[in-house]
Structure 1
Amino acid sequence: MSNSVSPLSVLATSPLTGSQRPGGKSSSWYEAMAEAWGKTLNAKANEIEVASDQLAEGNDRPEHITRMTALAQQMGFMSNSAHTSLQSVGTALETMARKQ
């Protein structure tokens, strides 16, 4: 087994310029990708929440219900995409770590 470090493992753990976690530690690009997905999903969830509040206030026209359905479908698609991308990259990093 070699003591050299693969370029992918260095990239996965390398700090991002200007990105800091609480406590002053730099985050990796993989963590930044997960945080970006989280922020995107939160934004979509907030859209759904606003539309849901409007529905609860009596805005139950078909166009609004259709919009709610579309938002829910978008959220499902984005959630699946986030899971797939994070799992794929995580698996690739795990594979590279085992080959070192």
Structure 2
Amino acid sequence: MTDVTTQLNNLAAAPATGNRARTSNWFEAFASAWGSALDKQADVIEQQAEVLKNGGDSPSQITMLTAESMRLSFMSQSSHTSLDSISKSLETMARKG
């Protein structure tokens, strides 16, 4: 999740009129940061699966693949929860505004 934090910090530091990494608002940047973090974790899983595919199917390697898969699941759930919470907050603010 450090990647998400770094990307959000970079977004916060960007000038208000500057190009914000191909997004038009901070909510899209937030979603993009989560997407990047999930993509990187998926890459880790693919690399670990390659190890198994190439004959490294020891119990420790299988356990590592399982752990990395569970990490992706946790990250995916966290991204959904945070994006859902923010979108509900924005909806509430829009109704009150």
The interval holding the TM-score normalised by the smaller chain is 0.7 to 0.9
Q: Which has the higher helix share?
A: 2
Tell me how many residue pairs correspond in the alignment: 82
Residue in 1 that maps onto 2:81: 84
TM-score, L = length of structure 1? 0.76
CA RMSD in angstroms, aligned pairs only: 1.5
Structure 2: runs of 5 or more not aligned: 1-15
Residue in 2 that maps onto 1:18: 19
2:24 alignment partner, SS class:
strand
Structure 1: runs of 5 or more not aligned: 1-14
Residue in 1 that maps onto 2:30: 33
TM-score, L = length of structure 2? 0.78
* Amino acid in the other structure paired with 2:35: G
Structure with the bigger RCO (C-alpha within 8 Å, sep 6+) is 1
Structure 1 contact 44–75 (Cα < 8 Å) conserved: yes
Structure 1 contact 45–75 (Cα < 8 Å) conserved: yes
Map 1:40-51 onto structure 2 (within 5 A). Answer: 40-51=37-48
